[in-house]
Structure 1
Amino acid sequence: MKQTPNLSLNKPEGTDVVNIDDLNANMDVLDAKLGTSGHNHNGTAGNGPKITSAGLAAGAANDAAIGSRTVNQALASPANAGTLTQLLSWLAGKIKAITGATNWYDAPAATLAQLWALFGTSGHSHNGTAGQGPKIAYGNISGAPTSMTPTAHASTATTYGVSSASNYGHAKATAAAPLAAGTAAVGTDNGLYARGDHRHPVQTSVSGNAGTATKLATARTIGGTSFDGTANIVPANCTLAASATKLATARTIGGTAFDGTANIVPANCTLAANATKLAAARTIALTGAITGSGSFDGSGNLSIATALGSALGDSGHLFAETGYQKFSNGLIIQWGNTTVFNQRQSFPIAFPNACFTMTSIKGKETSEIWEPSSNPPAVTYRSNTHYRINVRNGDADRVYWIAVGN
C-alpha cells in the first residue's frame, strides 16, 4: 500500500485490501500533527507553514513572547539587517563609541547640551579653568604677528636692572666719588655708570713689585756674587769651560768610575754582541690546532710536547677494533670490520648530521696477503646510523671499513 509523501498516511489503491487498522493508523498520525502541541507551524513537512505577521493575534508579540535579550556592545555591525539581538547589540556599540564610557548604559562624561554650551559661539574661552580648555600658546595662534611696536612711554626707573644679568632696565649715573686704588673687586653697585668727566685720586705711593723694575729692591746673591739688576755679573765660582773634558767629580757607571777622560767598560757588561744564552729564559708557546710550550734560553735546542688544540680537541673516542674518534670541531671518524654481509649494520655511534663517505676492503682469515679482487665489497647503503656492505658469497671472510662524517 502506498503512503503520502509528507505524513506517510496509508493511501490504498484499487487492488489493496483496506481494513479498520489502516484507517485508525491514518487518524493517529493526523491527531498527533494537529493536536494542541504537535503542530508548530515551523514550515517543515507536517507542521504547517510559518505564520505571517497578518496571522498573529493583536498583542501576541509582547515582552513575554519575545523574551529578554542580552546585547553584546563589542559586536561589530557589518550589515543593516540582522536578528533582534544583533540589532540591539550594534546600537549599544554605537552608543558606547559616542559616549566614550566603559559600557553603553553608563552616564557620559558630558551631555550633548553641555558640550554645545562649552563649544558654542561664546561658551568656550580657553582660560585654563575646568571645562574651558587650556590656555593657547602664542605660537599656536594662526596669523599672530611676529613683532609688535610698543606704545611710547616715559620711564620712571631710578636704577638699571636688578641683580639678575638677564633683566634689563634704565641706567643712571652714580653720585659717588671714584674710589682710591686698592684691592681689585667686582663691586656691588647695580645699574650705575661713571660720568665721562670723573677723575681718580692721584697715586702718591707704590708698594710691592713694580710692573717694569730696573733694579731689585733687595739685591740677591748668584754664585756668591751680589746682583741687584743694574749691571751684568760673572759669578765668582764659574770656572768650568763651556765644553768640559773632565767631570769635577767622577761618577760610577755600572760599578765602574767615570770622569770623562777615557772610555770605560762597565764591570757587569759580560755578554758578547752575539750572545749564546739569554740572560732571562723565555717561554715559546704554540696555540691554535696544535698547542704546547717550553722554556728557551738559547743554550740548547728546544723540543715542545704538543697536543691537539681546541679546534681539533678530543670530544670523545673509543679505541678498539671497532671504534670512533670525535673532534671538537664536529668531525667524526669511525672504523670497524664485519662478517655480516648484505644486511644493515649499525655504526658504533650515530653521525649527528651526515655520513660524508665510507669505504671498505675485504680479506680472508686464512691468507696473510691482501690481493686485488675483481669483485670488491660494495657499500650499498649508508645513513647517519646504519650501513650495508654487499659481497659475493664466499668471496670474503671479513670486510674492514672506515667512515667519515659529522
Structure 2
Amino acid sequence: MKSVLQTFAVLIVALHCSVCSAQTVEEWTEANLDSLVKLYMHLHKHPELSFQEEETSKRIAAEWEKAGFEVTSNVGGFGVVAILKNGDGPTLMLRTDLDALPVKEETGLEYASKVTVTNEDGSKTGVMHACGHDIHMTNLVGVARYLASCQDRWQGTLMLIGQPAEERVAGAKAMLEDGLFTRFPKPDFGVALHVGSDIAAGKVGYRAGYALANVDSVDITVKGRGGHGSAPHTTVDPIIQAAELVVALQSIVSREVKPIEPAVITVGSIHSGTKHNIISDECKLQLTVRSYSSEVRQQLLEAIERKAKAVAIGHRAPPPVVKFSEGTPSLYNDDDLTAKLSSVFVRTLGVDKVEQVDPVMGAEDFSLYGKAGVPILMYRLGSVSQRRLDQLSMAGRTPPSLHSAAYYPDFELTLQTGIATMSNVALELLPRQ
C-alpha cells in the first residue's frame, strides 16, 4: 500500500508531466540544479563508511519515494531498491553506490567533511567521499526526478538501486544474495557511471569489453621461530622469508603470465617484530592482486600460494597461512549495449565530448550484475574542469586521483553532464511504443 506521501508525489508528477515533456533534459536540469546542489553538499558533508550507510540510505530512499517510486529499504544491508512501472516494456536498472572512504578530507572546501570515526583499535580517522559516490547519488536522484516527471517520454520499468559497501566490493553480492533479481524484476539492462579525475567535466568516457579488473585481497602470515637478534642461527627468521617472498611474487607476473595478459601483484603492507634485537615468530603481508580473465586470476592465486610455501620449505619453516578475501570479478561492458549507448552520448554531448578510454586495473562490484546475466555498461563521467586540469598541467602536476584526500569534483557541470547522459540512456532503452 502506497504511503500518503508517495501518492501525493505521483499526483505532482502527473501534473508536471506535460510541462517537462516540452523541455530537454538539459533545460530541466538547469532549472532544477539548485536543489540538487544542496543535496550534493549535504551528502558530501555527511559521509558514511561501508556497511554503515544508514542515514545515507534513508535520505536516498526518501528522495526516490518523493519522486514517485515504490521504495524498498534494507536490501542486502542498507541497500535501497526503487521501482517505477510505466506500462509494458523492458526493465532498466540504474545503480549508485552509497559508501565513503576512511580518508581525512584535505580539500579546504567550505562544505568539506569533518566526520571522524573511531576504529576498533581506538584510533580515529576522517571520512570523506573521496571516490565521488556523493556525485553518483545526486546524479541518480536527478535522473529519477526527471524521468518520473516525464513519463510520457518512455515506457517500461525503471529500477534504481542504491548499493552499499562498494568500496569493500561486498555490497552487490549482499544485494544479490538478498534477492535483488528474484524479489524485484530482473533487468534487461544495467547502467552505472563513475566519476573520473582525469577526464574534463562536461565529457564522458566509455570502453567496450573489459574495463575494470578482477581484484583479490590476499593475507599471508609467514611463520618462523623467534629469538635473540644476536643468535640468528638459533631462529627461523620470518622477515628474511618475507623479503624473499616479496621478490619471488614479482616473478609470477614477469615470468609465468603471458606478456599480453594484464596482471598486477602489489604487496601493500608488511609488518613484523617489536624491537631492534628480537627476531619475531611471524611476519604478515597484505597483497592486492589484479587481472582481467578468470584463467589468469586463478593462475595468480595458485602461484602466490605456491611461492609462499616454497619459501617456507627453503627455510625449513612451518607452512605459511594464506587467506584470500574481498574478491570481485572483472567488469565487462557488454559490446552491443556499449555501441548503442555511445551513440546516445555523442547525440547528447557532441562527438568532441565523448572519448574511448583505456581499461584500468581498478575494480568495481557492479561487475557482479553482469555475471548474473544482465548486459551492463559502466561509463566514466568527467569531474574536473578543463581549466583546473590545464592549470595543473602547466604546473607539472597531475590531478588528485580518486581516493585522494585532495580530490573534489567541479560538481555543477559534472552533475549536468551525468543527468543528461543517463536520462537519455533511459529514454533510449525504454522507448515509447
Could you say which TM-score interval applies, normalised by the shorter chain? under 0.3
Flag the structure with more relative contact order, 1 or 2, with Cα contacts below 8 A and sequence separation at least 6.
2
Larger Rg: 1
* Higher helix content, 1 or 2: 2
TM (normalized to structure 1)? 0.13
Q: Please, what TM-score do these two structures have when normalized by structure 2?
A: 0.13
